[in-house]
């Protein structure tokens, strides 16, 4: 049996659609650029990624507090954070066909090779050289609060979850009384009016973030930054990613945001190139200082041992959930040449992330006693794991279906089961089969799933 990665995004996108992971957004209306919908299988994978992240960074630590803050915020918060003036990308417009392009993406050849005519760049769509000079375009989506659509009522859909954590710093201090260093964690939906969405769910206009704001004494920033880089590496292991496909891109002076003293973009080798998967930034005390200034509230911290009063600094590890899902799928996708010459596609997802932990099959679907027994096994396992029942088509087809969605175990109930209360358990990765007593099944799987 030979393993091949044999990766192309077409294969990934097609598998995601065919097997119910991810569908184009608003598909029956012709779609909506930059939006995708998670299907019944995809939502399980996405929830498992989010839950694994929450467990690792919130439940398994004693210095992290979770939050779930509003998407709509007082617009002053976005003025304070610099998003109103600075959350921008350079764009150029074609005066002829009226299409808009991201200037840096145009230069990188994202729209195809740029033709130069008479020393001028040509529009990748219509070929006209009537392109405007690059202008800055704010990526925040705007909407109105209340019944009157006027500038005074204009608000934004949040482009990151960080703002909600900074504005609750004082509430958490007052209620939980934490000591530095401690963090706030939040996962939720954010919106960015990307000029060039693309590469499937890599660059979209609506996505989920998982972020921390980790508040620290500035004296400790260097060692805590390093320890967070090590934690991020452990998280990439949870996603099952190959270390050789990960690159820690130290953002040089002059290219970082003005408030950042150090930023590392953690990149992953996607089929379309080495691209940012997540990041960590040392944001100094920029955010709390700004929110203190704009809100007029005291956001300082008094050290209980030294009585020193200061505005905490912050380390910000930030993870795009959809990019995490995409990287896990890309990494797990494998094609294997079998001894009989067939090729099987299998998603070798880490077991903890697999949408279903086991699939239960009756060997035949037209014998009540076999089907009834398989349903009993399903009901036995259902309270323990997320399991699925499959009696469609022959067993070979069911294996193929479950392999493609990454189900670690397939359990077949057959005629022998009626005699001896054992089932066949087939392992996704090795395809080896063993007979296990139904009474021992939950324990047997549990031991293999940790
Ligand atoms: N609070 C910091 C912040 O939002 P960012 O680098 O702008 O930082 C964080 O975004 C993460 O969000 C990125 O590392 C990436 O994983 C993800 N991300 C950014 N833009 C995205 C987009 N348009 N579609 C999907 N994920 C995106």
What's the pLDDT score for residue 7? 76
How far does the chain reach from its first CA to its final CA, in angstroms?
26
Minimal-distance CA residue to ligand 1 atom 22: 203
Distance (Å) from CA 240 to ligand 1 centroid: 20
Model pLDDT for residues 137-196, shown as the tens digit of each residue? 999 999 999 998 888 899 999 999 999 999 999 999 999 999 999 999 999 999 999 999
* Radius of gyration of the CA atoms of the chain, in A: 26
Q: pTM (2 decimals)? A: 0.94
What's the pLDDT score for residue 359? 98
What's the pLDDT score for residue 5? 54
- Would you say the CB of residue 140 lies under 6 angstroms from ligand 1? no
Distance (Å) from CA 291 to ligand 1 centroid: 22
Minimal-distance CA residue to ligand 1 atom 12: 320
What's the pLDDT score for residue 3? 53
* Substitution site in 207, 235, 248, 263 for ligand 1 pocket (most atoms within 8 Å of beta carbon): 207
Phi/psi at 14 (5° precision): -70, -45
Question: 358-396 in b/e burial notation, b at 16+ Cβ within 10 A?
Answer: bbbbbbeeeeeebbebbeebbeebeeebebbbbbeeebe
What's the pLDDT score for residue 151? 86
- Residues 61 and 357: their CA atoms lie apart, in Å, by 26
What's the pLDDT score for residue 450? 77
What's the pLDDT score for residue 67? 98
- Would you say the CB of residue 276 lies under 6 angstroms from ligand 1? yes
CA triple 363-448-385, angle to 5 deg: 65
What's the pLDDT score for residue 434? 97
- Would you say the CB of residue 19 lies under 6 angstroms from ligand 1? no
Minimal-distance CA residue to ligand 1 atom 15: 320
- Would you say the CB of residue 160 lies under 6 angstroms from ligand 1? yes
Which residue stretches of the chain have pLDDT < 50? 2
What's the pLDDT score for residue 360? 98
Distance (Å) from CA 135 to ligand 1 centroid: 22
SS (H, E, C) the chain: CEEECCCCHHHHHHHHHHCCCEEECCHHHCCCCCCEEECHHHHHHHHHHHHHHHHHHHHCCCCEEEECCCCECCHHHHHHCCHHHHCEEEEEEECCCCCEEEHHHHHHCCCCCCCEECCEECCCCCCCCCECCCEEEECCCEEECCCCCCHHHEEEECCCCHHHHHCCHHHHHHHHCCCCCEEEEEEEEEECCCCCCECCCCECCEEEEEEEEEEECHHHHHHHHHHHHHHHHHHHHHCCCCHHHEEEEECCCCCCCCCCCEEEEEEEEECCEEEEEEEEEECCCHHHHHHHHHHCCCCCEECCCCCCEECCEEEEEEEEHHHHHHHHHHHHEEEEECCCCCEEEEECCCHHHCCCCEEEEECCCCCHHHHHHHHHHHHHHCCCCCEEECCCCCHHHHHHHHHHHCCCEEEEECHHHHHHCEEEEEECCCCCEEEEEHHHHHHHHHHHHC
- Would you say the CB of residue 162 lies under 6 angstroms from ligand 1? yes
């Amino acid at each position: 049996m030979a393993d091949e990665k044999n990766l192309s995004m077409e294969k990934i996108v097609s598998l995601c659609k065919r097997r119910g992971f991810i569908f184009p957004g608003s598909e029956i209306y012709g779609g909506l650029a930059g939006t995708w919908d998670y299907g019944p299988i995809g939502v399980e994978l996405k929830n498992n990624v989010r839950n694994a992240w929450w467990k690792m960074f919130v439940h398994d630590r004693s210095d992290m507090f979770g939050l779930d803050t509003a998407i709509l915020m007082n617009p002053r918060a976005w003025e304070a954070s610099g998003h109103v003036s600075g959350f921008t990308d350079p764009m150029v417009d074609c005066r002829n066909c009226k299409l808009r392009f991201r200037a840096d993406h145009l230069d990188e050849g994202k729209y195809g090779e740029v033709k130069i005519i008479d020393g001028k760049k040509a529009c990748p769509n219509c070929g006209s050289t009537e392109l405007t000079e690059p202008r800055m375009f704010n990526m925040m989506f705007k909407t109105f609060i209340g019944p009157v659509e006027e500038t005074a009522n204009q608000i934004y859909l949040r482009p990151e979850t960080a703002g909600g954590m900074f504005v609750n710093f004082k509430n958490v201090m007052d209620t939980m009384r934490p000591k530095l260093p401690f963090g706030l964690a939040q996962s939720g939906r954010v919106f960015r009016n990307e000029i060039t969405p693309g590469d499937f769910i890599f660059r979209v206009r609506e996505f989920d973030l998982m972020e921390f704001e980790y508040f620290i004494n500035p004296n400790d920033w260097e060692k805590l930054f390093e320890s967070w880089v090590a934690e991020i590496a452990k998280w990439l292991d949870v996603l099952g990613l190959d270390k050789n496909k990960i690159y820690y891109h130290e953002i040089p002076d002059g290219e970082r945001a003005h408030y950042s003293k150090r930023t590392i973009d953690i990149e992953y080798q996607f089929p379309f190139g080495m691209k940012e998967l997540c990041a960590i930034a040392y944001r100094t005390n920029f955010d709390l200082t700004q929110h203190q200034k704009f809100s007029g509230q005291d956001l300082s911290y008094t050290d209980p041992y030294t009585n020193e009063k200061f505005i905490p600094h912050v380390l910000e590890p930030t993870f795009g959930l959809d990019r995490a899902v995409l990287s896990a799928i890309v990494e797990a996708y494998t094609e294997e040449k079998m001894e009989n010459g067939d090729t099987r596609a299998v998603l070798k997802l880490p077991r903890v992330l697999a949408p279903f932990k086991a699939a239960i099959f009756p060997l035949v679907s037209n014998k009540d006693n076999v089907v009834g027994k398989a349903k009993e096994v399903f009901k036995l396992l259902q309270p323990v794991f997320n399991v699925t029942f499959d009696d469609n088509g022959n067993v070979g087809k069911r294996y193929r279906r479950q392999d493609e969605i990454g189900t670690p175990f397939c359990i077949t109930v057959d005629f022998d089961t009626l005699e001896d209360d054992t089932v066949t358990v087939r392992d996704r990765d090795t395809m080896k089969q063993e007979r296990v007593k139904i009474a021992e099944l939950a324990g047997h799987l549990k031991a293999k799933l940790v």
